[in-house]
Each structure stands twice: as C-alpha cells, then as structure tokens.
Structure 1
Amino acid sequence: MPIRPSPLLCGISLWCAATCAGAGGEPSVEPSAERLAASGIHHAPRVDDHFENNDGPLARGSVWKWRWNAFINHLPPPPENGYRFPMDHPDVPWLKANRQDNTLTWIGHATALLQINGVNILTDPVFSERASPLSFIGPARKVPPGLTLAELPHIDVVLISHSHYDHLDTASVQALNRQAGGPPRFLVPLGIKQWMANKGIDTVEELNWSDHTRVAGLDFWFVPATHWSARSFSDRNDTLWGGWAMKTAPGAARPFSLYFAGDTGYSGDSKRIGAAFGHFDLALIPMGAYAPRWFMGPQHIDPQQAVQVFKDVGAKKAIGIHWGTFELTDEPLD
C-alpha cells in the first residue's frame, strides 16, 4: 500500500528528503519459527546473566577520550541554520479520524506514528524535553515533537526497542498509559516488563528475539539488533534490545509489512532479518548519533550503513530516524 504523502509523512518537512524508494528483496513470505531459525534468528545469547549481541560483545572505546576530544574541538558544531528547522505540522483531525489509509508520521528521533489497517502504532515514544533521568541536565530537545501527546490518535500498540533514555521515556509511557479510551498494549524487550510494572503500567508483553505475538490483527516479531542497554551505571545489558518486524495477518485484504530497526550498529543481523522476512514495504532505519566512528561505530550505523541495512532487509521504502532531535554525538544535528 502507498504511504500517504505530506503533510502526513513526517513531522518536519525539511527531513522528508530522508525518505527513499528502491530495493526489492525476494517475494513476500510468511515467517515461521522454523524460517527465523534457519535465517539465524534465535533467542538472544546470555553471558554471566547479561544479554549479548549475536556477533559477540561490542568494542568499547574510552568515553573520557571521546568527551575530552569533543570538548577541546567544540563538537558537535551547530547546524548551518542555527537550529531553525522548518516544521510541517500534520493534519491532526484527519489523523485522529483515519481508519483507512496507511500513514507514517515521523514525530522526531525514533518516535513515529504508524497507522496500519486502522491500527495506531507508536515507536519508542519520547516527548520530554530531555533524554535524561533528570529534568535539568542531559541531552535537550533541539526540535519540538512533530505531534504532541495530546494530538495523537488513540494508540493501540507501543513498540519499545530498548531501555536507553532517548528511546524509553518515563513521562511519555505513563502519559500513554493514561490515554482516554484505555492504555495501549506495550510490546517490550525482555527485562522491561518489570520496569513498566514499577511505573504502574501493566498492559505489557515482553519478548525475546524471534518471539512472536499478534495484537489487533497484526503480527509482531522482536528481532535482533547490535546494541546494548542501561539506565544506570549498574544495569548494563540487564535488559534486552532489538528491533520489530510487523506484518498484517495472512490473508489480509491489504497486506503490509514494516521493519523498525530501533538502534543498532552494523552487523549480520540485517541480512538475517532480510532472509527471514523476504522484504518489507517500509523500514524505519536509524542514521544518526554516529560520530566519531572509532567510538560510535560498533553501536550506531552511519548514513551509508543505513542504506546498506535498507538493502539487506529488502525494504521497498524507508525513512531515516534517530537524528535531528537530540545532540548526542559529534556530527552536526543536520
């Protein structure tokens, strides 16, 4: 199905250029546990009670060296427009009433609203002013959300990729849990269900890599990514991380498939996902927070690698996410 064009495509008009078409992949397939296993997608490995990546532990550079180099070189440089990004505000009443068209609205960073066959899906909701455990320090939002929480339609499903503060925001998930009409179903990685329960959220299902669930007539699989997790200095890799694959149920009148990569470094995972699912109609692929490569390379793909992931998973269309909102690393925001 086509994605409805602007103004519903994304929250910031300047960034619509991140959308690209192409690829193809093999014909659509119906994933099964056997096909995922044959493609190399299994439950996440564990080492000493901590989760691990498929290709082993991430190479870890010195965070102090990185921060000192950024300080003495005044990194990141401000964007040429001085943070004055033009905004394309979506048609909110239309979105709230829509039950027919498949749409994508990029709200900012890794947060996106997807409307698929009448189901409203939200990815990694972060609407707060900072991606931080504290309200007065930490990466501050340079661009407001393309939609506010109040402007969202009723959300049916929330997809969480991992526990980092720029992907899992306490105030945002608690607000969604209080939405009129009842809370959404939160699909989360292993280990995050208890965190959600501690925040008063109980409509939660947690999955391991290769696990499958069906919600509101859509099939979801949690798939591997090459990354890590932590919300403090003492819980590194205690909870899992990953991406999400979604397909309409077999026999759907309007079949559609989605890949939300979450946050990842480049590895064999994208080829495994492509082999398991054949192709995707749409992919949301991170392409920011990538510099310097000696430090960020293992955990974050850069724009060139994002294009490679696009090809690996056989996406027909894609949009680049995870950039243009928070200054997290050394490249300019634009």
Structure 2
Amino acid sequence: MTQQSEPTTTSPTPSRSTGRPAASVTLAPPSAYAPPPAAPRPLGERRVWPRSFHDRLTAPLPGLKAFARFAREGAVRPDKAGLADIPLLPYEPGPLPEVDARTVAVTWAGHASWVVRIGGLTVLTDPVWSRRILGTPARMTPVGVAWEALPPVDAVVISHNHYDHLDAPTLRRLPRDIPVFVPAGLGRWFHRRHFTCVTELDWWEAAELSGVRIDFVPAHHWSKRTLTDTCRSLWGGWVFTAPDGQRVYFAGDTGYGHWFSRIGSRYPGIDLALLPIGAYDPRWWLRDVHCDPEEAVQAAQDLGARRMAPMHWGTFILSAEPVLEPLTRVRAAWEKAGLPREDLWDLPVGGSRVLR
C-alpha cells in the first residue's frame, strides 16, 4: 500500500452547530504539499491491501450518543411541504451531444451518475440506473439517459461502495471485460462478479486508458455496504485528464475539508468540477460526509476549478432538506461568491454541456 506522506496541515473545520467552516487557520503554501502526480499503474493489477482504512477517516464515525440523538430528533425525509416540489425538479432528457477526441462533454443521468466524454472515451461515474436503491423510496426523477441511448462505454469509475453509488443491478448490464476503476479494497467485489479488468487505486495513484489519465484522489467520507465491512475499502474522487490537458474532477461523495485545496494544488487547471450539493440535513449528523451547497461552492474555489456542475441532489431522498433547496441555495451561494453565472452548470437531470 502506498504510504500517505502529506503533511498534517490544519485547515478550516466545520462548526458543530452550523456545519459552516469555523474560523480558518492558514494553510501552508500549496507548493509545500503538491508533489508531481504519480506514474500510472498497470491496468488490472492485483494488489494486497490492509484489512481496514479507518486511518483515512477525517472525522469519527457516529457513536452511540449520536445515534441516540438522531433517534430523538433526526429526520431522514423532508416534511410534506419539502416534498411538494417533487414535480418541479428539473428533468430534461435529450440526445447526447456529438463529440470528438478534443471535446469534453458531460451528461447528468441523475444523482452521482454522469456520462463523461473526454479524450475520445466515454466514462460512467457511479452508474445507478435502478429505479430504487436499498433503504430509500423510488427515484424522484427518472434516469436522465436511457441505457439504450448510451454510446459504447469505455470505462466505469466508482467512488465508494454505498448503495447509491455502487449499484449491482446496473453493473450487471455491463460487459465483464470493461475497464473498471475502483478504490483500494473494492476490487474483490468486482472479481466475485467476474469483471476481468479491475484497477484498484490508493489515494494519489493513477492509471491510464487510451491516453486519458485517471487519478484517484481523497474525499471526506467513509465506506460500508454490510454489517461487517465498515471502512474495509477506500473512498474518494476521480480526476480525468485528456491528452490535451483538459481536466474534469468528479468528487463522488464528500464533506467539506482540506482535501479540495490539496487536489487543486496537485492537479491545477481543473476545467470542470462535478460536486455534490445534497443530502446534508440534519447538518449536525451529515456535515462530516456531505457538503451543503455553500460548502460545495467553496470547494470549487479551493480546487481552482473554472466551472462547477452540481450533483447528488434531486434523485433519491436521502435526508431531510426540501427537495429543491439544494438548487436554490447553490445558485445563491454562487452569486454571493461573485462567480460568473455561465460557469455554474446547474443542469437538469438528463442535461448535457460541452466544453470546447
């Protein structure tokens, strides 16, 4: 396993009461912790990993007191007024744009599922085409891209093993020889399902496919799929870099914290950041693992990203905020930050944008 030698520089931490960043502590200059990206590792490499990745957590997992408080006052779904806007959720499926090897295009299929077309490749992120996932009501919005309308898929990336990001019924639709890129420790799940080209990566490691570099980067999150596998596999986001240098960052699922500035330092010139903005209420319960809209806008700035596309909202009911609130709050936060409106790609489910 690769040793993580990043310095433990203090960064702003969210307040326990508000979930917003508390008084900040100045980070060390980016050059102090921005070594050059690692050389790509071989595709499909079989590796040995530690039994647990608990040491990668950036906040403790909830204990008995937190669960007791949640049982007393927590809410897992919006109230009736918060659900009333479900018919207003933006859903505009359309044909995928035509692209060439020099064009980057993204299409939001819903939640954290994107069709990313970069460097001549078509990559699916956290593909969930199922109508329902374990423990949640059915989708509020249909999938934005019909499975039959997808171009040939060249690769799949998975951010972590939670059911709303790793969907077995969807993955069964894929050919077993498709290249799959997954966090360290998650390869065995795919090998058991007979996938033959599974590349497991640790944080800050990379692989390359047809000239497109695919880097695995840290996130403020955790992993669990069964009662006995808490943090047995890693979690993180992905950076795609085309041969011409165009760069897209897919955050997966993450809270706000210091990793964003470090990712931006190591991978400068991010053209587009796909960032989560939903599943944040109650804040005291979810702040360590899910960004709220204001934190997502701050994350985009920490990354140095030129554009941001919100995700992880408007698809599944995972928490208690009103269903349209993430969109209205991210638009307000973007405007308050003084950022160009055209650089916020607040797509409807099924919507596409092209970066030329």
Normalising by the smaller structure, the TM-score range is 0.7 to 0.9
Q: Which residue of 1 aligns with 2:286?
A: 296
Q: Distance in 1 between matches of 2:160 and 2:250?
A: 12
Q: Which residue of 2 aligns with 1:200?
A: 194
* SS of equivalent residue, structure 1 residue 176: coil
Does residue 238 of structure 1 match 2:232? yes
* SS of equivalent residue, structure 1 residue 235: coil
Q: Distance in 2 between matches of 1:52 and 1:112?
A: 30
Kindly state the Cα deviation for residue 184 of structure 1 after the two structures are TM-superposed.
2.6
Q: Which residue of 2 aligns with 1:114?
A: 116
Q: Distance in 2 between matches of 1:52 and 1:221?
A: 21
Q: Which residue of 2 aligns with 1:159?
A: 157
Kindly state the Cα deviation for residue 277 of structure 1 after the two structures are TM-superposed.
1.2
Stretch deviating more after TM superposition (301-310 or 69-78) = 69-78
Q: Which residue of 1 aligns with 2:214?
A: 220
Q: Is the 8 A contact 1:108 1:325 kept in 2?
A: yes
Kindly state the Cα deviation for residue 199 of structure 1 after the two structures are TM-superposed.
1.5
Q: Is the 8 A contact 1:326 1:333 kept in 2?
A: no
Q: Distance in 2 between matches of 1:115 and 1:145?
A: 18
* SS of equivalent residue, structure 1 residue 309: helix
* SS of equivalent residue, structure 1 residue 236: coil
Does residue 330 of structure 1 match 2:331? no
Q: Distance in 1 between matches of 2:151 and 2:81?
A: 37
| Number of aligned residues | 282
Kindly state the Cα deviation for residue 203 of structure 1 after the two structures are TM-superposed.
1.7
Kindly state the Cα deviation for residue 51 of structure 1 after the two structures are TM-superposed.
3.4
Cα displacement string for residues 13-58 of structure 1 (whole angstroms, at most 9, x for unaligned residues): xxxxxxxxxxxxxxxxxxx993359xxxxxxxx9973333363534
* SS of equivalent residue, structure 1 residue 306: helix
Does residue 34 of structure 1 match 2:38? no
Does residue 279 of structure 1 match 2:281? no
Q: Is the 8 A contact 2:113 2:126 kept in 1?
A: yes
Q: Distance in 1 between matches of 2:309 and 2:76?
A: 34
Q: In the alignment, residue 81 of structure 1 is paired with which amino acid?
A: D
Q: Distance in 2 between matches of 1:48 and 1:332?
A: 39
Q: Which residue of 1 aligns with 2:82?
A: 78
Q: Is the 8 A contact 1:99 1:118 kept in 2?
A: yes
Q: Relative to structure 1, is the Cα distance of residues 295 and 332 closer, same or farther in structure 2, using a 3 angstrom cutoff?
A: same
Q: Is the 8 A contact 1:156 1:184 kept in 2?
A: yes
* SS of equivalent residue, structure 1 residue 328: coil
Does residue 123 of structure 1 match 2:121? no
Does residue 49 of structure 1 match 2:39? no
Q: In the alignment, residue 163 of structure 1 is paired with which amino acid?
A: N
Kindly state the Cα deviation for residue 307 of structure 1 after the two structures are TM-superposed.
0.5
Name the % identity.
Answer: 36
Q: In the alignment, residue 324 of structure 1 is paired with which amino acid?
A: G
Structure 1: 5+ residue stretches without partners: 1-31, 38-45
Q: Distance in 2 between matches of 1:161 and 1:82?
A: 27
Cα displacement string for residues 110-167 of structure 1 (whole angstroms, at most 9, x for unaligned residues): 00001112210110000111121xxxx5342111110022211111111100000000
Q: Distance in 1 between matches of 2:128 and 2:56?
A: 25
Q: Is the 8 A contact 1:102 1:116 kept in 2?
A: yes
Kindly state the Cα deviation for residue 91 of structure 1 after the two structures are TM-superposed.
1.3
Q: Is the 8 A contact 2:278 2:290 kept in 1?
A: yes
